[in-house]
Amino acid sequence: MGLGPYMFANVSINNVPSYAILSCSNSSLSSSSILRPNLPERNATSFLANYVRSLRSLSIADNRMPVPQTVDKSLLYTVGLNLEACPNKICGGPNNTKFQASINNVTFQRPSLAMLQAFFFSQNGSFTPDFPDRPIHPFDYTGNPIPNLQSLPATKANVISFNANVQLVLQGTSLVSKENHPIHLHGYSFYVVGYGNGDFNLSDSANFNLLNPPLLNTVGVPASGWVAIRFKASNPGVWFMHCHLEIHTSWGLATALAVRNGDKEDEVLPGPPADLPPC
């Protein structure tokens, strides 16, 4: 088994491959006779796309987590980088700017009060429940970059009803730089039902795999493309979603999903322990 890093952007990375041998206890094959696999180039986008499209989940008779066949809440989130003007013009970015990142052009700001605590106790001052379901100002997401590359710094969450079937299309953008963003959602695993190039179109949903899509908790949003996921919102609470390129998270490429309680006892977010220390 061999693996190596994938990086679409032209930045310096540690391009050193890793190898491991997985063998059964009764295998007679000598490890010295195994040839190392030839790995693709670090920016082999077509190779990656073909691999992702080939992924399938196993058919399970006792399927306690079925693929949502219908959608109660449909979301379109753009992900990408931004530039912010520096008041003193001392930043090292293009034209004295500094890098930011955003989802739906909202740059996540860390709150002073924990979002989960505020959600549980219905406290104000941590976040606002008005994260947009889709871009407020649509544009050609994978075309030429638009002139205004600034974003809105804010702490917002998208509020979702318990047990809603959620479809989320994560759309890559060409703002500042085209890049593959590995997006991770806390609190859930989700089915990757679609993957494509360019801007997502509603007609693309006709080709979604709703039979045996892979079940993941992190998915790469392709540079100049999109990926569609589905899950049932059956885990109440406030769940962080962010880019796993940690520098992008520090720039604000993150948001939160606030899932409401259900009606049954085991569908309600439990309270904090009595000795929970304050932030």
CA angle 141, 238, 150 (to 5 degrees): 30
> Per-residue pLDDT for 30 more than 80?
no
User: Could you tell me which residues are beta bridge partners of residue 84?
Assistant: 98
Q: Is residue 20 part of a domain?
A: no
pLDDT, tens only, 233-265: 999 999 999 999 999 999 999 999 999 999 999
> Per-residue pLDDT for 275 more than 70?
yes
Q: What is the pLDDT of residue 59?
A: 67
Q: What is the pLDDT of residue 34?
A: 67
Q: What is the pLDDT of residue 52?
A: 84
pLDDT, tens only, 172-189: 998 888 888 999 999 999
Q: What is the pLDDT of residue 62?
A: 54
Q: Is residue 46 part of a domain?
A: no
Q: For the residues 225-236, what does the mean pLDDT come to? A: 97
Q: What is the pLDDT of residue 96?
A: 80
Q: How many domains does the chain have?
A: 1
Q: What is the CATH number for 253?
A: 2.60.40.420
SS (H, E, C) the chain: CEECCCCCCCCCCCCCCEECCCCCCCCCCCHHHCCCCCCCCCCCHHHHHHHHHHCCCCCCCCCCCCCCCCCCEEEEEEEEEEEEECCCCCCCCHHHEEEEEEECCEEECCCCCCHHHHHHHCCCCCCECCCCCCCCCCCCCCCCCCCCCCCEEECEEEEECCCCEEEEEEEECCCCCCCCEEEEECCCCEEEEEEEECCCCHHHHHHCCCCCCCEECEEEECCCEEEEEEEECCCCEEEEEEECCHHHHHHCCEEEEEECCCCCHHHCCCCCCCCCCCC
Neighbouring C-beta atoms of residue 150, cutoff 10 Å: 14
Task: Note down the domain range covering 238.
Answer: 73-267
Q: Is residue 99 part of a domain?
A: yes
CA angle 81, 115, 230 (to 5 degrees): 60
Q: Is residue 189 part of a domain?
A: yes
Q: What is the pLDDT of residue 32?
A: 64
Query: Across all residues in the chain, what is the average pLDDT?
Result: 89
Q: What is the pLDDT of residue 129?
A: 96
**173's tokens:** 């953008």
**pLDDT > 70: percent of the chain:** 94
Burial environment of residue 165 by CB neighbours within 10 A (0 to 12, 13 to 18, 19 or more): middle
Higher pLDDT, 145 or 188: 188
> Per-residue pLDDT for 42 more than 80?
no
Name the band, by pLDDT with cuts 50, 70 and 90, for residue 135: very high
Decide if 99 contacts 251 (C-beta within 8 A): yes
Q: What is the pLDDT of residue 179?
A: 86
Q: How far apart are the C-alpha atoms of 233 and 212, rounded to whole Å?
A: 19
Q: For the residues 127-149, what does the mean pLDDT come to? A: 90
Neighbouring C-beta atoms of residue 147, cutoff 10 Å: 5
Q: Is residue 273 part of a domain?
A: no
Q: Is residue 203 part of a domain?
A: yes
Q: Is residue 200 part of a domain?
A: yes
pLDDT, tens only, 95-121: 788 889 999 999 999 999 999 999 999
pTM summary value: 0.89
Q: What is the pLDDT of residue 173?
A: 94
Q: What is the pLDDT of residue 29?
A: 67
Higher pLDDT, 133 or 29: 133
Q: Is residue 30 part of a domain?
A: no
Q: What is the pLDDT of residue 31?
A: 63
> Per-residue pLDDT for 61 more than 60?
no
